[in-house]
Amino acid sequence: MTDGVAGRVHRIGVIAGDGTGPEVVREGLEVLEAVSEAEGFRAELETFDLGGERYLRTGETLPEDELERLRGMDAIYLGAVGHPDVKPGILERELLLRLRFELDQYVNLRPIIRYPGVATPIPSHAEDDVNMVVVRENSEGLYAGAGGFHRKGTAHEVAVQESINTRHGVERIVRYAFDLAMEPSRRRKLTLVHKTNVLTFAGDLYQRVVDEVAAEYPDVETDYVHVDAACIYFLDMPGRFDVIVTDNMFGDIITDLGAMIQGGMGIAAGGNINPEGVSMFEPIGGTAPDHVGKGTINPLAAIGALAMLLDSIGERSAARRVEAGIRLACSKMTSMRAGEMGYSTAEVGDLVAEGATA
């Protein structure tokens, strides 16, 4: 959003959420303050009280008025949601997934980059072997919630969970991935990751759409890898991947493995993107209950999510600053793992801010 007189103003919705969410978001917001000052724009923050605490207090997950308020933001910054006292599935489906669906954030963009100096659990990986981005379909597939029980609780129980794949949904994610592969920062290679040998309906649709759209992108090399084999290649030959496009469930699973080969969940950031609407950026790691309140959690994933957010609102130079800050922090930290970083949460945030404003 631009205002010629007062300068650039962006309205950012902040859902700090549960667990270590508020601790990592705090560091991200400090970095935001530093780069907005350096770049001359203003971030207007609106906080949202959503997550496990509110649910336990009021029984509400995502009230309509909060959803409407979120629709009015330029972008959303999310910490983590999930609470040990809330039954699994409630906050996931009724808050996180509902936000993704209601705001039609159909792209889950998860860069997998190993920054210089970051320790890896895979000793055979050279530093620049790991540089890819997963384009995870984020609006359908197994996550659509289709299915049900029959004769629940009996010996003859049936549980059905269906994967919904629409031509429209598959085509828009595949097109997004091809466009991304053409960006100057990428290597013009797109790999479809699926399981076409078993999932012969959904996989067939994905493969046909990739083949059709590929004809419009003669400069992009296309490849196909089964999802199980992709796990092997993540460890054995990560350099074969540039842009990966995959469905919702496979994308969820391979990006956890991806986080590990970039150094750990502590540095893995992602964006839930609606290219025409409101996007939401988050560290992909979750609430880390063991680290709450100790100052041991790694804020770099949340800060990386902030860099993606800045890119999405057009503050590219601020995003590059944040990335420079992340590089500085990475070069000094002993590990990306919570509690083993060699610095506290706040100190890592300070390192990033220092590198971002140098």
The catalytic residue positions are 143, 195, 228, 252, 256
Interaction between residue 137 and Mn ion (CB under 5 A): no
CB atoms within 10 A of CB 195: 19
The total number of residues shown for the chain amounts to 358
Please tell me whether residue 252 binds ligand IPM under the rule CB under 6 A. Answer: yes
Of 24, 51, 12, nearest to 304 (Cα)? 24
Size of the site for ligand IPM (CB under 6 A): 5
Residue closest to Mn ion when measured from CB atoms: 252
Site of tokens 């970083």: 341
- Options 40-48, 90-98, 212-220, 307-315: segment touching ligand IPM (CB under 6 A): 90-98
CB of residue 330 vs ligand IPM: minimum separation in angstroms? 22
Per-residue contact flags (x/-) with Mn ion for residues 245 to 264, judged by CB under 5 A: -------x------------
Q: How far is the CB of 142 from Mn ion (least distance, A)?
A: 13
- Which one among 284, 313, 351, 353 touches ligand IPM, defined by CB under 6 A? 284
* 96 is a site residue for ligand IPM (CB under 6 A): yes
30 belongs to the binding site for ligand IPM (CB under 6 A): no
Q: Does 102 bind ligand IPM (CB under 6 A)?
A: no
Judged by CB under 6 A, the stretch of 30-38, 91-99, 158-166, 205-213 that binds ligand IPM is 91-99
Whichever of 247 and 252 has its CB closer to ligand IPM, that residue is 252
Residue ranges that bind ligand IPM, judged by CB under 6 A: 92, 96-97, 252, 284
Residue ranges that bind Mn ion, judged by CB under 5 A: 252
